Amino acid sequence: MPLVEETSLLEDSSVTFPVVIIGNGPSGICLSYMLSGYRPYLSPEVVHPNAVLHSKLEEARHLSIVDQDLEYLSEGLEGRSSNPVAVLFDTLLHPDADCGHDHPSVLHWKLEEHQYIPHLVLGKGPPGGAWHNMEGSMLTISFGNWMELPGLKFKDWASSKRRNLNGDRVTPEEVARYYKHYVKVMGLQKNFRENTYITSVSRLYRDQDDSAGLEREISAQQLQTEKSKFIKRNWEVRGYQRVADGSHVPFCVFAENVALATGTLDSPARLDIEGEDFPFVFHSLPEFGAAVSKGKLRGRADPVLVVGAGLTAADAVLCACSSNIPVIHVFRRRVTDPGLIFKQLPKKLYPEYHKVYHLMCAQCCPADSGLFSDYTSFPEHRVLAFKPDMKCILQSVSGLKRMFRLSAAVVLIGSHPNLSFLKEQGCYLGRDSSQPISCKGNPMEVDAYTYECVKEAHLFALGPLVGDNFVRFLKGGALGATHCLAARQKEQQRLLVGGGGDGPA
């Protein structure tokens, strides 16, 4: 759907959206769903297994969860997210899920059209975001029902596609199709624009002495020297949309609020060592998987080097082993490190990952011997360099160096979001402003109950940007942001009806 169907979006600078959402993955989709007027209420026939929480919910049964005190409801809850609203929303949607229970949600949803907040969702591809780019054959870490969004059960969607899930895990391809269908069946398409690429998101300022009230961009130097003179106004979002013939159509839209829902998969993390840009070194699982599936590595005697100790690195190990390609697996942690993700996964539910973990423990390479024929792990090692003759140099924690010839290497040590459209690449929004934003190491600092950035008013951040990497928990960001935006909209309407104020500053 072209972004510029209405020329006013480009030509009329008075067109301002209350909210622009950057990113159309599950975080952006869920926020669009709630901004469209869908509201969660406590179901009359269901009792939450947490008696204290259920008692709190009963106190304001007539109100939607969006309109309740989220801090009060979240108090005392524990879960696998550091964000309290994420834990709250997850326990309402999937009560006691971490205990292995499959209790029904205690919420039911109503569409209240008068609650609609106009918004625009901008994404690079179809709704579903990065899920459309993931390796289609691998299973997701989560169950299908944990990947679902409010109002449409994953099992119901799967059964309509004649696939019987029986509660098991699903492929990213199925998840991507579900998200795309969700936007359509929930009537959210009018808010979504595909093939859009953001180049700049900046705040406009108004001179207090400017009687015409004109908004303009102010240089950083001028803002610093005359800070008290200017009032922050709306956001200006610039970018381009790629159309059918491949050309780029520039656009500029204005927003009172911007929600960042980009995820963190844009830029693979790098080792920053010598030779990392050689063509035999990959930095993504799809690239590596494509090389394997095309037979480029088949029949070679030299092993593949896999760097990393997460689930994506484990997927690469499985991919290589299934094609009878020998593997050298290098990671910095000890195999007994309690922080390894494998230790958090039940063996019965995730047998393939525990197979990799068993290899990591059982087939470590002693300093005085050669490689195993199929797989060899190098715990507490790092890669020092890649050489033009397809060799790599490894170094142990004790300083011992070893060299191996490779057929390929794949570096899978995490990723960073591409926030080049923000000033300072968005670093100033993180908990540590001197470091790039990352899901685990340096998430954006937001208010715990509204998801508004602490260092930038009217800018919200959701999902992996605030440390919630699982779909189960990123839905809490949509609840927190909607709670805040809906309250502000009501306050604006009250001021307008009462004759006070002049709208948002």
Q: How far is the C-alpha of 67 from the C-alpha of 95, rounded, in Å?
A: 21
First-last CA distance in the chain: 31
Three-class HEC string of 327-340: EEEECCCCCCCCCC
pLDDT at 386: 98
Each residue's pLDDT tens digit in the chain (505 positions)?
A: 444 443 334 344 457 999 999 999 999 999 999 999 999 999 998 899 999 999 999 999 999 999 999 999 999 998 888 899 999 999 999 888 777 677 789 999 999 999 999 999 999 988 887 776 765 556 555 565 678 899 988 888 887 775 555 546 677 888 889 999 999 999 999 999 999 999 999 998 755 555 444 555 554 445 455 555 456 679 999 999 999 888 999 999 999 999 999 987 778 889 999 999 999 999 988 889 888 888 888 767 799 999 999 988 999 999 999 889 999 999 999 999 998 989 877 787 788 899 999 999 999 987 667 888 899 999 999 999 999 999 999 999 999 999 999 999 999 998 889 899 999 999 999 999 999 898 878 999 999 999 999 999 999 999 999 999 888 898 999 999 999 999 999 998 888 877 655 544 4
For residue 132, the model assigns a pLDDT of: 62
**pLDDT score at 100:** 67
Instruction: Locate 50 and state its tokens.
Output: 């947490």
Q: How many helices (H) and strands (E) does the chain have?
A: 12, 20
Token pair belonging to 297:
């590595």
SS3 of 349-372: CCHHHHHHHHHHHHCECCCCCCCC
Which pLDDT belongs to residue 222?
52
**Which one-letter DSSP state was computed for residue 446?**
B
CA distance 85 to 91: 10
Q: What is the model's pLDDT at position 14? A: 55
Whole-number pLDDT of residue 394: 96
| Parallel/antiparallel/unpaired status of strands 248-260 and 16-22 | parallel
Burial tier of 327 (Cβ tally within 10 Å: 0-12, 13-18, 19+): buried
Three-class SS of 58-112: HHCCCCCHHHCCHHHHHCCCCCCCCCHHHHHHHHHHCCCHHHCCCCCCCEEEEEC
Using DSSP's 3-state secondary structure scheme, residue 140 falls into: coil
3-state secondary structure of 410: strand
- The sheet with strand 327-330 has its strands ordered as 281-282, 408-411, 304-307, 327-330, 375-378
Place of tokens 């924690």: 397
CA 161, CA 342: separation in Å to the nearest integer? 32
Would you state the pLDDT for residue 331? 97
Using only C-alpha atoms, what is the Rg of the chain? 25
Distance between alpha carbon 260 and the CA centroid of its chain, in Å? 10
> Whole-prediction pTM value?
0.82
Alpha helices in 234-385 (DSSP H): 285-293, 311-322, 351-362
